[in-house]
Homo-oligomer: A and B are copies of this chain.
């Protein structure tokens, strides 16, 4: 048997990964959920045929979406994650003793159940006593909060399918309202390389900048995402992602990370010229 999982990055470009077995396949109310096992990437989760995470490189995405805002905010205690039912962002957050409460809003309960069963190294902290999971649409959940969270992490899927509402102006406006006056929002910001992905970057960025006074884009290398070049957004009402970073304070926490470090934190906001131009187009 020779199973191959192929994800199309464009109509004519695909990344193929040899699969040793399929661990799970089920259609939820929202999407097709699959978990595979592979030699090169360990286990991986796909939603509607798109790779969401692999055991081998998920640390990059989760460390960068969590530790960048966490290292900037002086006292992040009350945190909201929208999406992220796999538990990767929760796991990174739970490493901070200062965190008092995490609301995880995941529309698809089945994603959480499947990850708990088949991706235990990712979902490891979903049962932490500080975590409350809400099976609800993030777009609706966020409407009822004002001046409440220190940090919101938008760990969404792509801007089509069940996550579509998380790419609207209304959503980012409500995130701003739900954050305290020194709150921070981090979100996945898509990839700048392929033209269709670059359109998504423009679309997200345009919506975020209308809702936040400060919005900067940072980058990371994520091998299993299209082009391997991935962007994140850092938006805030008060803090600057580089000027307000207290390296020493973060280093004193003693958290062991595999991708993130404070030098890289600062460096990740220096973008290639073509990415700078892409973002400036909508600013």
A78 sits at the interface (CB 8 A): no
Determine whether A97 belongs to the interface, using a CB cutoff of 8 Å to chain B. no
Q: A219-B221, A228-B227 are in contact. Are A270 and B259 (CB under 8 A)?
A: no
Q: Is the CB of B6 within 8 A of A13?
A: no
Shortest CB-to-CB span from A134 to chain B, Å, is 33
The verdict on A162 contacting chain B, using a C-beta distance below 8 Å, is no
Q: Does A276 sit at the interface, judged by CB under 8 A? A: yes
Inter-chain CA distance A256–B194, complex, in Å, is 21
Q: Which of B13, B57, B276 contacts A261 (CB 8 A)?
A: B276
The verdict on A257 contacting chain B, using a C-beta distance below 8 Å, is yes
- A248 close to chain B: CB less than 8 A: no
Pick from B14, B266, B272: contact of A264, CB under 8 Å: B272
Q: Is A60 an interface residue (CB 8 A)?
A: yes
A129 on the interface (CB 8 Å rule)? no
User: Contact residues of A with B, CB < 8 Å?
Assistant: 6, 10-18, 38-41, 57, 60, 193-194, 219, 221-223, 227-229, 257-261, 263-264, 266-274, 276
Query: Can you pick out 24 interface pairs between chain A and chain B where the beta carbons lie within 8 Å of each other?
Result: A6-B16, A12-B17, A12-B38, A12-B39, A13-B40, A14-B15, A14-B16, A15-B16, A60-B272, A193-B221, A221-B221, A223-B227, A223-B229, A227-B228, A258-B273, A259-B272, A261-B270, A261-B272, A261-B273, A263-B270, A264-B270, A264-B271, A267-B270, A268-B270
Kindly state the separation between the CA atoms of A18 and B227 in the bound complex, as whole angstroms. 15
- Cα separation A40 to B11 with both chains bound (whole Å): 9
Please name all residues of chain B whose beta carbon is closer than 8 Å to the beta carbon of A271 when the two chains form the complex: 264
In the bound assembly, the distance between CA atoms of A157 and B27 in angstroms comes to 45
Are B223 and A40 in contact, CB atoms less than 8 angstroms apart? no
